[in-house]
């Protein structure tokens, strides 16, 4: 399982590929050392699912582990409604949907379908505003785009030069421990 990519890191990779390297280096340390308020809030909303404290109805699969051999991905879904064949990813706040978040939802979709589940609808659910945002099922071109992205992720070398964006660094949870920047975290 070592070569599997965690679905939860796909959005972080787009934000900054170096953050994946830092995540792997610091993954065994106390998250309180670097987690800022937005990450903590998002984590708590996901823990509600992980500990099955949400409404655990008969037609829902909650927090189920998924994997894809085709893309070497593993992770967990948030909610799959078996009666509606609908996969939902919950977010506390969604002022904008980033491509990385869509890739994460697609990744869950590819895993589920490879595992034999029928998925006909995708959506985000914004907890803070109690609204559902439908997302189209990826078409053939989008699946190729996704495969290319996974390949880039897999081949990233942290010792290679990359463009550091100070604005991103100021909003990055690894800002205070990253050797690529002198910026201070805004949180």
Of 147 and 186, the one with the shorter C-beta distance to ligand SF4 is 186
Buried b vs exposed e over 39-68: b needs ≥16 C-beta within 10 Å?
eeebeebbeebeeeebeeeeebbbbbebbb
The distance of closest approach from Cβ of residue 35 to ligand SF4 in the complex, given in angstroms and rounded to an integer, is 13
Rounded to the nearest whole angstrom, what is the least distance from the CB of residue 2 to ligand SF4 in the complex?
23
In whole angstroms, what is the distance from residue 104 CA to residue 107 CA? 5
- 16/77 with CB nearer ligand SF4: 16
Task: Give the count of alpha carbons within 13 A of 187, CB side only.
Answer: 17
Residue ranges of the alpha helices (H) in the chain? 10-15, 17-26, 37-50, 99-114, 140-155, 166-170
Judged by beta carbon, residue 134 or residue 158, the one nearer ligand SF4 is 158
User: Which CB, 24 or 128, lies closer to ligand SF4?
Assistant: 24
Interstrand relation of 73-76 and 5-6 (parallel, antiparallel or unpaired):
parallel
Is residue 74 within 8 Å of residue 7, measured between CB atoms?
Answer: yes
Residues that bind ligand SF4 (CB under 6 A): 16, 18-19, 22, 164, 168-169, 172, 174-175, 178, 180-181
């Amino acid at each position: 399982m070592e070569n599997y990519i965690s679905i939860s890191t796909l959005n972080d990779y787009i934000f900054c590929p170096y953050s994946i390297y830092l995540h792997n280096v610091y993954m065994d340390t106390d998250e309180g050392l670097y987690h800022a308020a937005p990450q903590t809030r998002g984590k708590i909303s996901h823990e509600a699912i992980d500990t099955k404290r949400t409404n655990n109805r008969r037609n829902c699969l909650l927090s189920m582990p998924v994997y894809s051999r085709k893309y070497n991905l593993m992770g967990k879904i948030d909610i799959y409604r078996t009666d509606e064949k609908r996969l939902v990813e919950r977010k506390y706040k969604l002022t904008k949907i980033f491509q990385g978040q869509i890739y994460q939802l697609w990744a869950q979709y590819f895993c589920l379908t490879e595992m034999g589940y029928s998925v006909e609808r995708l959506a985000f659910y914004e907890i803070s505003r109690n609204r559902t945002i439908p997302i189209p099922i990826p078409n053939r071109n989008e699946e190729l785009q996704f495969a290319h992205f996974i390949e880039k992720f897999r081949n990233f070398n942290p010792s290679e030069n990359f463009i550091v964006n100070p604005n991103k660094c100021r909003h990055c949870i690894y800002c205070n421990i990253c050797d690529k920047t002198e910026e201070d975290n805004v949180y």
